[in-house]
Structure 1
Amino acid sequence: MLNKHCFEALDRSLNDIMKTQFTHGYDIPFGGKVVVLGGDFRQILPVISKGSRSEIVGSAINSSYLWKHCKCKEPLLELVNFAYPKLAHNLQKNSFFQERAILAPTLECVEEINNFMLGMIPGDETEYLSCDTPWKSDEDSGVNAEWFTFEFLNDFKCSGFPNHAIKLKAGVPIMLIRNIDQAAGLCNGTRMIVNALTKYIIVATVLNGNNMGETTFIPRMSLTPSNSDISFKFQRRQFPVALCFAMTINKSQGQSLSHVGLYLPRPVFTHGQLYVALSRVKSRKGLKMLIIDDEGVVSNTTRNVVYQEVFDNI
């Protein structure tokens, strides 16, 4: 909650040090460095000795030319605190994660929340990198496997397929995204808590299903994308899991939860998706929504997608 002139002085100094004006022909905020601002405008504002109300408000950082470059994370943090209150104190309680989740419409939104929450968890982070191998193309396919570099394959992401890089910590919730052993209840959608992370095995406790509470060992698997729209084939050897503080709305179908945070940085995009999300929670008090409009402002309305013609002959 410093005076905006302090931030503006730092901005000019970093631009001089980084020579951004010479390199880019214009100044960029803080010389291209990431700056994290902490505080709450509802509590403490900059102190201006004998200053008027307008002088105090005008000295705050959101009155500066820098504010247009800032992104406020407070609404998302409030949603996280609702779905996972006192997270650090409840990490060792498996029951804490059994009936809690944040839902979002797309994989990009889910990944944003999961990465945000992983940073809130104490402890060392373990990163698992996949081994991606292009398939030898059939003679009639017209696709040359040599066109696909490892960098290109590593960047590939799709639903039901693990990322090239998976970052985990002990105590975080994960979800299986492929069937491993259906008889043992290790199916696509099974949620678990990480107990230990080793080089070749993830040790986890099952959170839902008939095998709830059992310890299981998850190996790496050789997987291929199941998306039929992809014109090429490759194999990724990786753990078939994903962080699941948050999950897509579609992935949550069939689950009954006591606390649901619904994150909508954009409206739902298909019929019934909003209905599915709202139906996951057992009571109204267990639901909190964060809706962002097209201008990036928190809103209290969103669009529901309904294909009305499907009801014509009912």
Structure 2
Amino acid sequence: MHQVKSGKGGAFFIDGPGGTGKTFLYGALYAKGGLVFLIREASLVIWDEASMEKRENIEAVNMLFQDVCSSSEIFGGKVIVFGGDFRQVLPVLPRRTQQEAVETSIVSSPIWPLLTIFKLTENIRARTDPEFSKFLLKLGNGELQTAESSLVAIPQQLILEPNDDQQPEQTLIDAVFLEISQANFSPGIFNARAILTPRNEDVDSVNSVLIDRFPGEKHIYHSFDSVVDDNSNVYPAEFLNSLCPASMTPHELTLKEDSPVILLKNLDPAAGLCNGTRLICKRFFPNMIECEISTGFYKRERVFLPKITLKPSKNSRFPINFQRKQFSIKLSFAMTINKAQGQTLQRVGVYLPKPCFSHGQLYVALSRARSAKDCKVLHIPSSDDISGNIVRNVVLFEVLRRAGLRES
């Protein structure tokens, strides 16, 4: 490190038996010589979707920058730009209360009062439909309701009436993906279309229907599941195969050529393979899938995805410590509303067999579209007293007040 800091050259050999920490030493040297210099040299840091981030992570980065830059100023004196929308979903906290989500958000951090706030007001995505844009803003601000979790009226033009002759989700599938039933269609249509729904179980149900209707030969991949440190084999493989926590791929993954998928883990961010990246399947191998990135800066780049070891998220509090070796992707004809955050879609279907249950979910789902005509909502009322255009909306007034979006 002395040679590095002084700018002098040098050649070294680390001699040590197995287990003495050579790999750890290399990692420490790389982190100290690479990451530290990168942070010190950076003049601007941009952190998007910070409204979804836990305050502890942001505060940890603040302390890291202060330490690396030897400065007690906020983020070590660096210029840092946070971006986000507090009308959208907050940090994901399984089995926690909505109030805990507020307290875990950046608006509850001592860093928040130190930030200079700039507000963007024009909805560029929906500028061709100003009435739709006004409705979305009122919905997100909670201006259409008096309680934090209450019913709101969706404009009738957005509502898709179910067809009595078919299953409800089939009606929405026909509205969003009509071309699948035709002989010729471009895989590019899946880049900007999706069915959004609050719960993973409904996502899997819709994706299952669509992959069956999708033309082409099926390619089925099965995972290898095992319990960590289970020497007595208490849990049979069939039981482990049936499990599918939200952050993991199912045991049986069915794909077809040109079917759309979404990445569930950060595999190689520098190459565009991040959590949430959408891809199109192209070729299939026993332990590898060739895909084409379908959105973003790396659009049309061909990549190879390997099977990796997946474990339930630590936040999920999953009762069994098991792992699954499988491709870290899911079909993305349909996806959860949370997963769609940050994406712009040309055609959106919002499927509500059950109400939205978290702050901002309904707002996020509807605001993925550019205009009202590009968005259809299929709502299954839980009571005969509720019509199809009256839906539940959850807005935490407290987080909007702290963010300066609502008066106290």
- TM-score in same-fold range (> 0.5): yes
Measure how far apart 1:89 and its partner are: 4.2
Other-structure match for 1:195: 282
* TM-score in terms of structure 1 length: 0.70
Distance in 2 between the 1:277 and 1:145 partners? 46
Other-structure match for 2:347: 259
Partner AA of 2:207 in structure 1: N
Give the conservation status (yes or no) of the 8 Å contact 1:102–1:262: yes
Other-structure match for 1:178: 265
Other-structure match for 2:92: none
Other-structure match for 2:361: 273
Which residue of the other structure, out of 199, 216, 227, is the alignment partner of 1:123?
A: 216
Taking only aligned residues, the RMSD between alpha carbons, in angstroms, comes to 2.2
- Aligned counterparts, 1:38-53, within 5 A: none
Other-structure match for 1:165: 252
Quick check: 1:152 aligned with 2:239? yes
Distance in 2 between the 1:86 and 1:231 partners? 42
Other-structure match for 2:313: 226
Unmatched tracts of structure 1, length 5 or more: 1-70, 138-143
Partner AA of 1:277 in structure 2: A
Q: 1:210 to 1:117 in 2, by over 3 A?
A: same
Give the conservation status (yes or no) of the 8 Å contact 1:129–1:238: yes
Which residue of the other structure, out of 393, 396, 401, is the alignment partner of 1:304?
A: 393
Deviations 1:268-290 (A, max 9, x none): 00111101111111111100010
Other-structure match for 1:84: 177
Q: 1:243 to 1:147 in 2, by over 3 A?
A: same
Q: 1:303 to 1:201 in 2, by over 3 A?
A: same
Measure how far apart 1:294 and its partner are: 1.6
Other-structure match for 2:301: 214
Give the conservation status (yes or no) of the 8 Å contact 1:118–1:168: yes
Measure how far apart 1:74 and its partner are: 4.4
Give the conservation status (yes or no) of the 8 Å contact 2:187–2:259: no
Other-structure match for 1:250: 338
Q: 1:199 to 1:298 in 2, by over 3 A?
A: farther
Which residue of the other structure, out of 274, 277, 291, is the alignment partner of 1:204?
A: 291
Other-structure match for 2:198: 105
Between stretches 152-161 and 92-101, larger displacement belongs to 92-101
Measure how far apart 1:127 and its partner are: 1.3
Deviations 1:172-217 (A, max 9, x none): 1011111111100011111111112221111111111211011111
Partner AA of 2:345 in structure 1: L
Distance in 1 between the 2:371 and 2:333 partners? 20
Measure how far apart 1:156 and its partner are: 1.1
Distance in 1 between the 2:226 and 2:169 partners? 37
Q: 1:309 to 1:121 in 2, by over 3 A?
A: same
Measure how far apart 1:94 and its partner are: 3.4
Partner AA of 2:289 in structure 1: I
Measure how far apart 1:96 and its partner are: 1.1
Distance in 2 between the 1:310 and 1:189 partners? 25
Secondary structure class of the residue paired with 1:225: coil
Other-structure match for 1:94: 187
* TM-score in terms of structure 2 length: 0.55
Q: 1:269 to 1:72 in 2, by over 3 A?
A: farther
Measure how far apart 1:86 and its partner are: 1.5
Distance in 2 between the 1:311 and 1:214 partners? 40
Give the conservation status (yes or no) of the 8 Å contact 1:91–1:171: no
Partner AA of 1:163 in structure 2: P
Measure how far apart 1:79 and its partner are: 1.3
Measure how far apart 1:88 and its partner are: 4.4
Give the conservation status (yes or no) of the 8 Å contact 1:264–1:290: yes
Give the conservation status (yes or no) of the 8 Å contact 2:265–2:275: yes
Partner AA of 1:117 in structure 2: L
Q: 1:98 to 1:208 in 2, by over 3 A?
A: same
The alignment-based identity, stated in percent, is 39
Q: 1:90 to 1:176 in 2, by over 3 A?
A: farther
Distance in 2 between the 1:224 and 1:102 partners? 27
Measure how far apart 1:240 and its partner are: 0.6
Give the conservation status (yes or no) of the 8 Å contact 2:179–2:185: no
Which residue of the other structure, out of 225, 231, 253, is the alignment partner of 1:132?
A: 225
